[in-house]
Amino acid sequence: MTKRVGFATRLGAIAAAVGSAVGLGNIWRFPYEAGVNGGGAFILVYICCILVMGIPVILSEFIIGRSTHSNMKAALKRLSPGKKYYLFTYICILGSFIVIGFYSVVCGWIIEYLYQAVQGSLSGHTPQEYSDMFSSLLESPLRCVGWTVLFLILNFVVMSRGIEKGIERVASTMMPLLFVILIIFCIKSLFLPDAGKGLRFLFYPDFSKLTMRGVLDAFGQAFLSLSIGISCLVTYSSYFKDDTSLTKDAATVAILDTLVAILSGVMIFPAVFSFGVEPTAGPRLIFEVLPSIFQQMTGGYIWALLFFLLVFFASLTSTISLSEIPITFLIEEHKLSRPRAIAWTALFTFALAVLAALSFNALDDVKLWDKNIFDMMDYAASNIFMLIGGLFTAVYVGWILDRKVVHDQLTNGGRLKGSAEPYLIFCLRYVAPVSIFFIFLYLTGII
């Protein structure tokens, strides 16, 4: 029997796990949500969410993956023989395809803007012209599809290199560079005029602005930011070594993911307020607002180039983790070679991504519940698949899985203390399921 390949180093494993969590949501959503929901008050609630829901659910995925060193289906079959829990795997795989499908379109936009930044074409425009540039991109089927396909090719080239030479090597390179670029940006932003206004917007704890919806936004942001619920971390942790401290690694992933989100706010909002731009979130922030700010800054060419390199790193490390879910499944459950598993994964991904890319132009008249294909995929992935997955994982580890498995994984067979076990079980049994249920009701508009 061929020995299963794993991550070569603990640093590589953590870099890959952090890379799967860190994405565009850290950069374009978290800072704005914090600012409009009470700044420091929102951040305090967010940190509480990480402690009572984020880290416990990360740990639950780690336990499932590392205890069996298998993909999600094989893991659930082995941990609960004779039960049908393994059917949940197909929800994870479908969810991962849907996320890659729409997310890779945004990543294609990033490559376009990175290309424009290299050429120096992002300078010398009015705010309206930046808005028109982004609209022009969306309206062009050739450009949208072309850049999306290019991004996916890069993604699958990394996957073709395998775990150690592909995923681990890319994550170990890109994640440190991401932090370096972020810190350089933060230092630059802190020395801009009126930087204090941006920091106040982000950090001042105004509890009068923190409503119940703001609290639910914090829970939702914490859940979605960590990429939990579709077995990304189950797949990655199945490659962890047996002497890894799962508790330390889960805490490290959550802390670094939160740090990226906060540093993104420090990077963006001093500049936004310094140049008198209205705070906003989403694609408009990255593709319209920030380019107009960079061109007003000394050395704007360099800042634009560094920024789009930053978001490219964040997006690529996220998609390679999503791609590994179906690839590992096809290799281990259907006995495909890695090249063939990548080819089948690429085929389905390309089909979904092209549909999402065309939803702004050639297929813009195709609607489902008043949403185009891209928005529907985004909604389904974020509000349905990831939440159902997170709920299942919490309930499974908290209520169903043999406590001996949990104890063995947290203590590495008795070699570590495992003092976090009672806390973990309490959060997985009561706090996480209730929180996820209310997030689902909120995001689906029921409350």
pLDDT at 326 over 70: yes
Average pLDDT over residues 95-100: 92
- pLDDT for res 359: 94
Which ranges of 126-194 does DSSP label H, i.e. alpha helix?
Answer: 127-138, 141-160, 162, 169-190
Q: Rounded distance, CA 292 to CA 122, Å?
A: 8
- pLDDT for res 3: 59
Q: Rounded to whole angstroms, what are the CA distances from 345 to 106, 350, 446?
A: 19, 9, 35
Q: Rounded distance, CA 225 to CA 43, Å?
A: 14
Q: What is the pTM of this model?
A: 0.92
Q: What would the pLDDT profile of 101-114 be if each residue is shown by its tens digit? A: 999 999 999 999 99
The secondary structure of residue 54, as a DSSP letter, is I
CA-closest candidate to residue 402, choices 425, 379, 386: 425
Q: How far apart are the first and last CA of the chain?
A: 53
Which ranges of 4-87 does DSSP label H, i.e. alpha helix?
Answer: 10-21, 24-28, 30-36, 40-49, 55-68, 72-79
Q: How confident is the model at residue 1 (pLDDT cuts 50, 70, 90)?
A: very low
Q: Rounded distance, CA 23 to CA 111, Å?
A: 15
Q: What would the pLDDT profile of 166-222 be if each residue is shown by its tens digit? A: 888 888 989 899 899 999 999 999 998 888 988 988 888 988 888 888 888 888 888
Task: Dig out the tokens for 147 from the structure.
Answer: 């850049």
Q: What count of Cα atoms within 13 Å lies in the side-chain half-sphere of residue 418? A: 18
Question: Any idea which fold 10-443 has?
Answer: Hydantoin permease (1.10.4160)
Q: Give the rounded percent of residues in the chain with a pLDDT score beyond 70.
A: 99
CA-closest candidate to residue 266, choices 319, 199, 353, 313: 199
Rounded to 5 degrees, φ, ψ at 393 are: -60, -45
- pLDDT for res 299: 86
pLDDT at 78 over 90: yes
335 in Cβ contact with 326 (< 8 Å): no
Q: Give the rounded percent of residues in the chain with a pLDDT score beyond 90.
A: 51
Cα angle for residues 270, 271, 276 (degrees, 5° grid): 100
Q: 368 in helix, strand or coil?
A: strand
- pLDDT for res 156: 92
Average pLDDT over residues 322-332: 92
Q: Rounded distance, CA 217 to CA 34, Å?
A: 9
Q: What would the pLDDT profile of 31-63 be if each residue is shown by its tens digit? A: 888 888 888 899 999 999 999 999 999 999 999
Average pLDDT over residues 285-291: 86
The secondary structure of residue 149, as a DSSP letter, is H
Length of the chain counted residue by residue: 447
Average pLDDT over residues 260-264: 91
- pLDDT for res 378: 87
- One-letter amino acid at 263 equals L
pLDDT at 246 over 50: yes
Q: What would the pLDDT profile of 377-418 be if each residue is shown by its tens digit? A: 988 888 888 889 999 999 999 999 999 999 999 999 889 888
How many other CB atoms are there within 10 angstroms of residue 429's CB atom?
A: 16
CA-closest candidate to residue 23, choices 228, 231, 234: 228
Q: What count of Cα atoms within 13 Å lies in the side-chain half-sphere of residue 389? A: 29
Q: Rounded distance, CA 94 to CA 109, Å?
A: 24
Cα angle for residues 105, 107, 110 (degrees, 5° grid): 120
- One-letter amino acid at 197 equals K
Is the alpha carbon torsion for 338, 99, 146, 370 positive or negative?
positive
Q: What mean pLDDT, rounded, does the chain reach? A: 89
72 in Cβ contact with 320 (< 8 Å): no
Q: Rounded distance, CA 173 to CA 170, Å?
A: 5
pLDDT at 226 over 90: no
- pLDDT for res 403: 95
pLDDT at 443 over 80: no
Q: What would the pLDDT profile of 112-164 be if each residue is shown by its tens digit? A: 999 999 998 888 888 889 889 999 999 999 999 999 999 999 999 999 888 88
pLDDT at 6 over 80: no
Q: What would the pLDDT profile of 15-35 be if each residue is shown by its tens digit? A: 888 888 888 778 878 888 888
Average pLDDT over residues 332-348: 94
Task: Dig out the tokens for 91 from the structure.
Answer: 């929800």
CA-closest candidate to residue 144, choices 312, 375, 311, 354: 354
Average pLDDT over residues 311-335: 91
Which residue reads 């893991």 in tokens?
75
Alpha carbon 440 to its chain centroid, in Å, reads 18
Residue 122: burial class (beta carbons within 10 Å; 0-12, 13-18, 19+): buried
In the chain, domain spans: 10-443
- pLDDT for res 4: 65
Residue 82: burial class (beta carbons within 10 Å; 0-12, 13-18, 19+): exposed
pLDDT at 99 over 60: yes
